[in-house]
Chain A
């Protein structure tokens, strides 16, 4: 039983990472009907931005000009990095996707791959092959809860993720921009004819998705501090799987499927030898998709792009 609960805790942590990243894929798909394959690398960029912001704030605090407690540095790091990374996302939309909006879908799809490679390479050029270590902002503490050991980091990661998802839901359901994002998912071409600026909404969607990826990058950095330019590749692809599993364009689906993916992976590893983890986990997901080809929350997606 404790072993089971221990795995639940771990699954929630990994599920949080996957869910936050998957949301970015799904939101962009919902609005523009294409997947931003650079999204995993946006996670990486967000994590590095988080590293520099955190290091800067720690340094600032050390000079004694203003002394910031570590928890406040963590909160500020997450907020500032989310904002900065959202600009990266909007820039990607502006230079990579907007000029190709009327191009064949395949061209727009490889844009993401190319931008991803560019981001990885830029990172290597700028920072070299040296591996950076994310500063320890949260002193690790382990609580024993009915024999299950839970670290304060895991609690923080799951809490922050759920909070962000809650705020995202408020944004999408209650604000005019969120409503416009949903409207674009159903009928793209009509949206501007009702006085809504497509480009603003598209940019905002990229910005939001990227901000969530940045949050994931920082949370990931607090749990697994060693960073490298390719850290976003595998986790990005896995989150992409979660976005498809949730149902293309479905925000709820992406969040739920992120956690499902976390559970399937962790429990595969707990039952079978850990080398088999991904083999088993992704065979299960393949099987789910055979029976639910539109994903768990997917509707047949036929948004009309033209009049």
Chain B
């Protein structure tokens, strides 16, 4: 059974067809890529699967269960987490608070437990603390724990977002152009982090990228989306040599 299965997903915004007959199957632990020019509908696909929008047509199964129509928080707490194309951090909260916030669905104590500070609450909070510190160490942001995120450099903010997504303990992680706006040095560092995180936690990753280099190096299989339709699917080599892909990217500067 695949971890995530999307069957014949189509979506309209009013009269505009944003996604047409999209199919996808991701296995546990796989790294999958989705490329395509700007406006092809890549982020829309993320939003459809994570429950921000409900697809006009189609079926989505996560861990074998249908998830179309579920609230975004329900889908997220089933083990699907994501980052965002434009950083979406809680500007005046600290780094450690971001990570602990993402533990919400793992903290199961209620108002009564909080009020009387039960041993169970303390145990859960301690576990969260531990995980937060481990993640910060993993991503090299331990020294920034108590910093307010707006004050951090861009690269560090990207890492905070990644740590936040990981704190939900996902089985599947969606990364929406995670290297956008990074310089070549940061890019190399970030790709190391992806590999490290994937090795360490073993979750599947679904990656949207604009830069071909990143997907080519990381992904086992890649789909190419143009105007909401998949025009090619295959291994990095196959994609790179596919004439349709080359045509779609022609004139785009980011081909390398």
A residues neighboring B (CB under 8 Å): 175-177, 179-180, 182-183, 185-187, 189-198, 299, 304, 307
Contacts of B114 in A (CB 8 A): 175
Interface status of B143 (Cβ within 8 A of chain A): no
Q: Which of B31-60 contact A (CB under 8 A)?
A: 47, 50-52
Docked CA distance A195–B164 (Å): 11
Task: Tell me the smallest distance from the CB of A111 to a CB of chain B, in Å.
Answer: 23
CA distance A110 to B183 in the complex (A): 48
Q: Give, as a whole number of angstroms, the nearest-CB distance from B125 to chain A.
A: 9
Quick check: A194 and B104 within 8 Å, CB to CB? yes
Does B97 contact A179, Cβ atoms closer than 8 Å? yes
A179 touches B100 (CB 8 A): yes
Q: A186-B93, A190-B88 are in contact. Are A195 and B76 (CB under 8 A)?
A: yes
How far in angstroms is the closest Cβ of chain B from A209? 16
The residue of chain A having its C-beta at the shortest distance from the C-beta of B97 within the complex is: A179
Question: In the complex the two chains form, what is the Cα distance from A190 to B50 in whole Å?
Answer: 11
8 smallest beta-carbon distances between A and B, as pairs: A195-B105, A186-B90, A195-B76, A192-B72, A195-B77, A192-B73, A190-B88, A183-B90
Residues of A within 8 A of B72 (CB): 192-193
19 contacts between A and B (CB under 8 A): A176-B101, A179-B97, A179-B104, A180-B101, A186-B91, A187-B89, A187-B90, A192-B73, A192-B76, A193-B50, A193-B73, A193-B82, A194-B81, A194-B164, A194-B168, A195-B102, A196-B101, A299-B92, A307-B52
Q: Which residues of A contact B100 (CB under 8 A)?
A: 176, 179
- Chain B 59-70 interface mask (CB, 8 Å, partner A; 1/0): 000000000000
Residue of A nearest to B113 (CB): A175
- CB of B71 within 8 Å of the partner chain: yes
How many whole Å from B53's CB to the nearest CB in chain A? Answer: 9
List residues of chain B with CB within 8 A of the CB of A185: 90
* Chain B, 87-139, CB within 8 A of any chain A CB: 88-93, 97, 100-105, 107, 111, 114
> Roughly how many angstroms separate A198 CA and B164 CA in the complex, as a whole number?
18
Q: Considering the chains assembled together, what is the distance between the CA atoms of A186 and B164 in angstroms?
A: 15
B52 adjacent to A196 (CB under 8 Å): no
A176-B107 CB under 8 A given contacts A183-B101, A193-B52 = yes
Contacts of B249 in A (CB 8 A): none
Given contacts A192-B73, A194-B101, A197-B73, 11 further A-B contacts (CB under 8 A): A176-B100, A176-B101, A183-B101, A186-B90, A193-B50, A193-B81, A195-B73, A195-B105, A198-B73, A307-B47, A307-B52
Residues of B within 8 A of A (CB): 47, 50-52, 71-73, 76-77, 81-82, 84, 88-93, 97, 100-105, 107, 111, 114, 164-165, 168
Partner pick for B168 among A177, A195, A307, CB 8 A cutoff: A195
Return chain B residues, CB-CB under 8 Å to A180.
101, 104
Residues of A within 8 A of B89 (CB): 186-187
Among A187, A192, A193, A198, find the residue whose CB has the most chain B CB atoms closer than 10 A: A193
For the complex, give the distance between the alpha carbons of A173 and B90 in Å: 14
Closest chain A CB from B123 CB (angstroms): 14
**A190-B88, A193-B52 known; A176 vs B76 contact (CB < 8 Å):** no
A6–B36 CA distance with the chains assembled, in angstroms: 72
**Within the assembled complex, what's the spacing in Å between the Cα atoms of A178 and B90?**
14
> Of the candidates B76, B93, B107, which one forms a contact with A194 in the assembled complex, judged by CB atoms under 8 Å apart?
B76
Of chain B, the residue at the smallest CB distance from A200 is: B73
Q: In the complex, what residues of B have CB within 8 A of residue A177's CB?
A: 111
Which of A179, A192, A299 interacts with B101 by CB under 8 Å?
A179
A189 to B91, CA, bound (A): 14
- CB contacts (< 8 Å) of A193 on chain B: these are 50, 52, 72-73, 76, 81-82
A-side contacts of B92, CB under 8 Å: 186, 299
Residues on B with C-beta less than 8 A from A194 are 73, 76, 81, 101-102, 104, 164-165, 168
List of B residues within 8 angstroms of A195 by Cβ: 73, 76-77, 81, 102, 104-105, 168
> What's the minimum C-beta distance from A130 to chain B, rounded to whole angstroms?
38
CB distance from A192 to the nearest CB of B (A): 4
Compute how far the CA of A180 lies from the CA of B51 in the bound complex, rounded to whole angstroms.
19
- Which residues of B lie under 8 Å from residue A182 when comparing CB positions? 90, 93
Q: How far is the CA of A176 from the CA of B165 in the complex (A)?
A: 17
Which residue from chain A places its CB closest to the CB of B82 in the assembled complex? A193
